[in-house]
Structure 1
Amino acid sequence: MKKLTTLLTGASAAGLGLALTTHGAFAQDVAAEAAEAAAAPGVPFIFNTTLFLMAGFLVMFMAAGFAMLEAGLVRGKNVSMQCLKNIGLYSTAGIMFWLLGYNLMYDGVDGGYLGSFSWFSVPDPASDTGDYAAASDWYFQMVFCAATASIVSGTVAERVKLWPFMIFVVFLTGVFYPITGSWGWGGGWLSEMGFSDFAGSTIVHSVGGWAALAGAIVIGPRLGKFGPNGEAHALPGSSIPLATLGTFILWLGWFGFNGGSQLALGSPEDASSVARIFVNTNTAAAAGVVVVMILTQIFYRKVDVTMALNGALAGLVSITAEPLAPSLLLAAIIGGIGGAIVVVVVPLLDKIRIDDVVGAIPVHLVAGIWGTLAVVLSNGDASLGTQVIGIVAYGAFTFVASLILWFILKAIMGLRPTPEDEELGLDRTEVGVEAYPEFGIGSQRM
Structure 2
Amino acid sequence: MENEIFQLQYALDTFYFLICGALVMWMAAGFSMLEAGLVRSKNTTEILTKNVALYSISCIMYMVVGYSIMYGGGDLTFFLDGIVGDGVTGAEEPATYAPSADFFFQVVFVATAMSIVSGAVAERMKLWAFLAFAVVMTGVIYPMEGAWTWGGEAVFGMYTLGDLGFSDFAGSGIVHLAGASAALAGVIMLGARKGKYGPQGQTNAIPGANLPLATLGTFILWMGWFGFNGGSVLATASVESANSVAVVFMNTNAAAAGGLVAALIVARVLFGKADLTMALNGALAGLVAITAEPSTPTALQATLFGAFGGVLVVFSILSLDKLKIDDPVGAISVHGVVGLLGLLLVPITNGENSSFSGQLIGAATIFVWVFGTSLIVWGVIKALVGIRVTEEEEYEGVDLSECGMEAYPEFITSK
Q: What residue number does 1:358 align with? A: 329
Map residues 220-231 of structure 1 onto 2, 5 A cutoff. Answer: 220-231=191-202
Aligned-pair distance for 1:380? 2.1
Aligned-pair distance for 1:232? 0.9
Deviations 1:115-174 (A, max 9, x none): 215167242115344211111011000000100000000000000001110010001000
Which moved further from structure 2: 64-73 or 228-237?
228-237
Judged with a 3 Å threshold, the aligned counterparts in structure 2 of structure 1 residues 126 and 48 are, in CA distance, closer, same or farther, namely closer
Aligned-pair distance for 1:406? 0.8
Checking the alignment, whether the CA contact within 8 Å between 1:69 and 1:245 is kept in structure 2 is yes
Using the alignment, how far apart are the partners of 1:37 and 1:324 within structure 2? 29
Q: What residue number does 2:374 align with? A: 402
Map residues 145-224 of structure 1 onto 2, 5 A cutoff. Answer: 145-188=110-153, 189-224=160-195
Relative to the length of structure 1, the TM-score reads 0.88
- Extract unaligned runs of 5+ from structure 1: 1-35, 108-114
Aligned-pair distance for 1:285? 0.2
Structure ID, larger Rg: 1
Q: What residue number does 2:19 align with? A: 54
Secondary structure at 1:125 match in 2: coil
Map residues 244-323 of structure 1 onto 2, 5 A cutoff. Answer: 244-323=215-294
Aligned-pair distance for 1:228? 1.2
Greater relative contact order (Cα 8 A, min sep 6): structure 1 or 2?
A: 2
Checking the alignment, whether the CA contact within 8 Å between 1:225 and 1:355 is kept in structure 2 is yes
Secondary structure at 2:346 match in 1: helix
Q: 2:76 aligns with which of 94, 102, 118?
A: 118
Relative to the length of structure 2, the TM-score reads 0.95
Using the alignment, how far apart are the partners of 2:297 and 2:332 within structure 1? 25
Using the alignment, how far apart are the partners of 1:37 and 1:56 within structure 2? 28
Judged with a 3 Å threshold, the aligned counterparts in structure 2 of structure 1 residues 125 and 117 are, in CA distance, closer, same or farther, namely closer
Checking the alignment, whether the CA contact within 8 Å between 2:181 and 2:367 is kept in structure 1 is yes
Aligned-pair distance for 1:187? 1.5
Q: What residue number does 1:14 align with? A: none
Checking the alignment, whether the CA contact within 8 Å between 1:100 and 1:120 is kept in structure 2 is no
Q: 1:324 aligns with which of 256, 276, 295?
A: 295
Checking the alignment, whether the CA contact within 8 Å between 2:165 and 2:357 is kept in structure 1 is no
Q: What residue number does 1:438 align with? A: 410
Using the alignment, how far apart are the partners of 2:6 and 2:30 within structure 1? 38
Using the alignment, how far apart are the partners of 2:265 and 2:313 within structure 1? 13
Checking the alignment, whether the CA contact within 8 Å between 1:82 and 1:157 is kept in structure 2 is yes
Map residues 46-125 of structure 1 onto 2, 5 A cutoff. Answer: 46-107=11-72, 115-118=73-76, 121-122=79-80, 123-125=83-85
Q: What residue number does 2:87 align with? A: 127
Secondary structure at 1:121 match in 2: helix
Aligned-pair distance for 1:194? 3.3
Using the alignment, how far apart are the partners of 1:44 and 1:94 within structure 2? 28
Q: What is the alpha-carbon root mean square deviation over aligned residues?
A: 1.3
Aligned length: 401
Secondary structure at 2:382 match in 1: helix
**Partner amino acid, structure 2, of 1:89:** L
Q: 1:419 aligns with which of 371, 391, 397?
A: 391
Spell out structure 1 runs of 4+ moving beyond 4 A. 36-39
Checking the alignment, whether the CA contact within 8 Å between 1:98 and 1:120 is kept in structure 2 is no
Deviations 1:338-357 (A, max 9, x none): 00111101111111100001
Using the alignment, how far apart are the partners of 2:322 and 2:3 within structure 1? 58
Aligned-pair distance for 1:192? 3.3
Using the alignment, how far apart are the partners of 2:324 and 2:77 within structure 1? 41
Q: What residue number does 2:92 align with? A: none
Checking the alignment, whether the CA contact within 8 Å between 1:346 and 1:362 is kept in structure 2 is yes
